[in-house]
Amino acid sequence: MKFLDLAKVHIRSGSGGSGAVSFRREKYIEFGGPDGGDGGTGGAVWAETVEGLNTLIDFRYQQHFFAKNGQPGMGRQRTGRDGDDIVLRVPVGTEILDEDEETVIADMTEVGQRVMLARGGNGGFGNLHFKSSTNQAPRRANPGQDGVERTLWLRLKLIADVGLLGLPNAGKSTFLAATSNARPKIADYPFTTLHPNLGVVGVDNAEFVVADIPGLIEGAHEGRGIGVRFLGHVERCAVLLHLVDGTSETIADDYRTIINELTAYGGALADKPRITVLNKIDALDEDEHEAARAELEQASNGPVLSMSGVSRNGVTDVLRSLRGHIEEERLRHAPVQETDPWRP
């Protein structure tokens, strides 16, 4: 299945049915009076999150979603049938934006969450509704209310605990393949990863989700390379894992390039908890390893872990560090339980 994280859709709710103008026409009943029924309500347009989806590819092949109109009222006091609703089924993590691509209408973060995008029009009153003591034979009825038509954008931000960051060929896909059942494409050339990949990683009987996004390069916030289009997928992560290629001749510059892009992207991404890891240490001897690690520690002004996704050396320590940050973040955002003041 192809990956798509941005889609444009056109929706329209159903119009209400018009009311009926009708009079009783029964034998032996003189002055039967009005009996026109009301029109039915138009169908609404809903969005609902469902399990089993991690892409918006379905909305590439269908962009128009129109709910059914309500049926008009009929004689004998019969109300028209309501129009059927229509539901847009989206993956968890989908943001629904207005046509300007900036105004957030809804943020779908839980399975089963539903939000109404367009309400159906009300049905019109039939002439029975206008009967009174002074107007016993009304000959007017209301038309149904028009439906709502609008253009929306769907933007998917994957739900993951850990987000992988780094330059192209920093070893992100190798790390994901070595620690989970995910099978991302791995090759010795830049931009091997063209769309985000998710993997479930386990350590010490605990599991968490890791998201691998395409690598960033200098000037990505200006659209160079693949740009920062996929950085939205790590906005929801509890911790970022920054991998730096230990075989690079410009380790400090490589580190600063990613940090500058995070800062230029804006938001709270640059302030998220971040673990810096020197990768590919299997290709370094002991002296080269120590020199590379010291250079990276000086550039990051903090602790640095070392590992190799190929030989799995140091991978367990990295996973345990990630687990600690995730649990700390979950505790920080856990709801505070109110205590009963009457209990000891």
Residue numbers in the known binding site for Mg(2+) are 173, 193
Residues belonging to the binding site for GTP are 166-173, 191-195, 212-215, 279-282, 308-310
Q: How far is CA 168 from the centre of its chain?
A: 25
Residues belonging to the binding site are 166-173, 191-195, 212-215, 279-282, 308-310
The answer to whether the beta carbons of residues 39 and 70 sit under 8 Å apart is yes
The answer to whether the beta carbons of residues 197 and 233 sit under 8 Å apart is no
Beta-bridge mates of residue 243:
277
Nearest to 45 by CA among 147, 146, 113: 147
The answer to whether the beta carbons of residues 238 and 326 sit under 8 Å apart is yes
Q: Read out DSSP for 166-225? A: -STTSSHHHHHHHHSS------SSS----S-EEEEEEETTEEEEEEE-PPP-TTGGGT-T
Nearest to 9 by CA among 137, 156, 146, 139: 156
Amino acid 11 reads I
How far apart are the C-alpha atoms of 188 and 310, rounded to whole Å? 13
Q: How far is CA 35 from the centre of its chain?
A: 50
For tokens 């995910």, name the residue.
Answer: 182
Please state at what angle helix 172-179 crosses helix 315-332, rounded to 10 degrees: 90
